Amino acid sequence: MSQKTETVNRPVSRKDMTKWQWTWKEMKNNKTGYFLLAPFYIIFFTFTVLPVILSVFFSLTDFNMLETPNFLWFDNYIRLFLDDDIFMLAIKNTLVFASITGPGSYLLSLIMAWFINELPPKIRAIMTLIFYAPSISGNVYMVWTYIFSADSHGFLNGTLMDLGVISTPIAFLKDTSYIMPIVIIVALWTSLGTSFLTFIAGFQVVDRSLYEAAAVDGVKNRWQELWYITLPYMRPQMMFGAVMAITSSFGFGGIITALVGYPSPDYCAHTIMHHLDDYGGSRFEMGYASAIAVVLFFMMIGSNMLIRKLLGKVGK
């Protein structure tokens, strides 16, 4: 009897249990929370986590989307890194592209948001809409195809020919020497998206009293204000913005295709995303495409970790 009472009353100690037992116990205690989270987690797992795991699995097979796959072990990866020149080119392009547009769009968003934040509220709302418009209005980047059209009546060609700069039209979107700069410009143009909005929101939530306190403490100019107060205060928004910028710059395939066609002339703007599409879509080699996806996945994770490290230094 007394023993029983003892068991019931014995205080639960973290040391008495294994890690898993402890976790399970905590989960049981908080079951309402888990129950409420369940709908999202089930969907998130099925449509996001599972595909990632599946693609890791398929990357080890020769899955062709219509027939049962055979197991190949690491053949796909070996071929990818040792026997695929175009993949190497794609990695190069992706890195060039991502290292310009990623930080570029991030800084652009940040600076724009900072500037706009200084404006009176009504004008701020209008300016926000103007800058955010390119990324909400779907395929509006198609205007660039008209601007850079190879037709002698295209906007840029027509204007340049009018001005006498050129005499025959230039196929801007089909010429390897123009393609990369053009797609980078367009990418930057469309990049003022979600991260831009979060920055604007971030600037709004900074506690005004902090500025006063800082002024008392000796902050001299707006730069110092930005660096020591505003940015550290909005670190969560910056983190979010960075993740968005990285993922979008790595996954920026659609707009390139829409502008310069698929594949781009001589693969000059061929990114990993395109390579993935090429094998998954045109060649029906899902196994190989999965291997590419896995590589891309790890590249993104890696750069995310890097960004996290860098952001930790803000304000220090």
Task: Give the nearest distance from C-beta 248 to other proteins in angstroms.
Answer: 21
Q: Tell me, residue by residue from 145 to 164, as one string, x for binding to other proteins by CB under 8 A and - for no binding.
A: ----xxxxxx---x--xx-x
Cα–Cα distance measured from residue 312 to residue 37, given in angstroms and rounded to the nearest whole number: 30
CA–CA–CA angle 236, 239, 244 (5° rounding) = 130
3-state secondary structure of 61: strand
The residue assigned the tokens 């300016």 is 127
**Per CB under 8 A, does 168 bind other proteins?**
yes
Task: Give the nearest distance from C-beta 85 to other proteins in angstroms.
Answer: 9
Cα–Cα distance measured from residue 78 to residue 232, given in angstroms and rounded to the nearest whole number: 44
- Give the pair of three-digit tokens for residue 76: 């796909």
**Per CB under 8 A, does 266 bind other proteins?**
yes
Cβ distance to other proteins smaller for residue 135 or 285: 285
Smallest Cα–Cα separation from 76: which of 50, 57, 48?
57
Binding residues for other proteins restricted to 45-84, rule: CB under 8 A: 62, 64-67
Cβ distance to other proteins smaller for residue 203 or 279: 279
Total number of residues that touch other proteins (CB under 8 A): 29
The CA-atom distances, in angstroms, between 78 and each of 10, 81, 83, 160, 289 are 58, 6, 7, 48, 13
Task: Give the nearest distance from C-beta 169 to other proteins in angstroms.
Answer: 7
Q: Using CB under 8 A as the criterion, which residues of the chain lie in contact with other proteins when the complex forms? A: 62, 64-67, 149-154, 158, 161-162, 164, 168-169, 171, 174-177, 263, 265-267, 282-284
